[in-house]
Amino acid sequence: QVQLQESGPGLVKPSGTLSLTCAVSDGSISNTNCWSWVRQTPGKGLEWIGEICQSGSTNYNPSLKSRITISADKSTNHFSLRLDSVTAADTAVYHCARGGGDGAYYDWGQGTLVTVSS
Amino acid sequence: EIVLTQSPGTLSLSPGEGATLSCRASQSISSTYLAWYQQKPGQAPRLLIYGTSNRATGIPDRFSGSGCGTDFTLTISRLEPEDFAVFYCQQHDSSPRTFGQGTKVEIK
């Protein structure tokens, strides 16, 4: 079982940039299909943000596409999320997850709460 | 975007009872690309079922999934105390991947 751990600031100011990193252990980000970010709020539930795949290609949720960048660093076995121009609506628990070839998420990070507030 | 609608919103049941959870899609989904997750408070979702009916590693056989097209079902044959949680369906047939809003299975 792959272990994932999110890290990053818990508080971001409105109009600022949210940056999170997911550390992967007991597995290599080079050896599986795709690595995703999913966020969760009481109001909207679980929302897929986007993914970076083994090939280096990325896929983003169209609702967030203009503000998202997902990248991966194979040398450190991390992948990252950058979300620009945040508002209070971006306040959520952010999870990173490992996607299998069938698109299901087999392993998840515990999640990290990010609050957007001045 | 494919919308997944789960019902009921809440199920109040006793340990030992069976549970049937529904997930209806706004358009047809390949059975390969429908998954179910369980989430307990303060924890990450856990994969239960992938490909509509395949149990993930370590998932007890009291959990089963079925369905096709737009209608999918998660069945728990006999609820154990540790099964009470929120359950989500998810589709990955088309982008963006989407989740249902969840069904809470609570102790009656």
pLDDT in tens, B1-55: 999 999 999 999 999 999 999 999 999 999 999 999 999 999 999 999 999 999 9
Instruction: Encode pLDDT of A33-42 as tens digits.
Output: 799 999 999 8
Q: What is the pLDDT of residue A67?
A: 96
Among A42-46, A56-60, A68-72, B64-68, the least confident range: A42-46
Asked if residue B63 has pLDDT above 80, the reply is yes
pLDDT on residue B71: 98
Residues of B (7-26) whose Cβ lies below 8 Å from A: none
The DSSP letter of residue A5 is E
Confidence at residue A55, expressed as pLDDT on a 0 to 100 scale: 87
**pLDDT band at residue A44 under the 50/70/90 scheme:** confident
Backbone angles phi, psi at B33, to 5 degrees: -115, 35
Contacts of A110 in chain B (CB under 8 A): 43-44
Is B45 near chain A, with CB under 8 Å? Answer: yes
What's the gap in Å between the CA of B105 and the closest CA on chain A?
16
Reported as a single tens digit per residue, the pLDDT across A76-91 is 999 999 999 999 999 9
Mean pLDDT of B63-75: 97
Q: B92, B98, B103: which to substitute to probe chain A, counting the most A Cβ within 10 Å?
A: B92
Compute how many other C-beta atoms are within 10 angstroms of the C-beta atom of residue A26.
9
What letter represents residue B42's amino acid?
G
Give residue A22's pLDDT band: very low, low, confident or very high (50, 70, 90): very high
B96 vs A62, A102, A108: nearest CB? A62
Which residues on chain B are in Cβ contact (under 8 Å) with A1?
57
Nearest to B73 by CA among B93, B52, B45, B90: B52
Q: Do A109 and B44 touch (CB under 8 A)?
A: yes
Q: Are B46 and A95 in contact (CB under 8 A)?
A: no
A75, pLDDT greater than 80 = yes
Using the Cβ of B59 and the Cβ atoms of chain A, whether some distance falls under 8 Å is answered with no
CB atoms within 10 A of CB B31: 16
Residue type, A60: Y
**CA proximity to B21, closest of B40, B30, B8, B5:** B8
**Residue among A82, A84, A91, A83 at smallest CA distance from A117:** A91
In the structure, what pLDDT confidence band is assigned to residue A32 with cuts at 50, 70 and 90? confident
Cα A70 to Cα A44: distance, rounded to the nearest angstrom: 22
Q: Taking the CB of residue B23, how many other CB atoms lie within 10 A of it?
A: 27
Q: Which residues of A touch B37 (CB under 8 A)?
A: 105
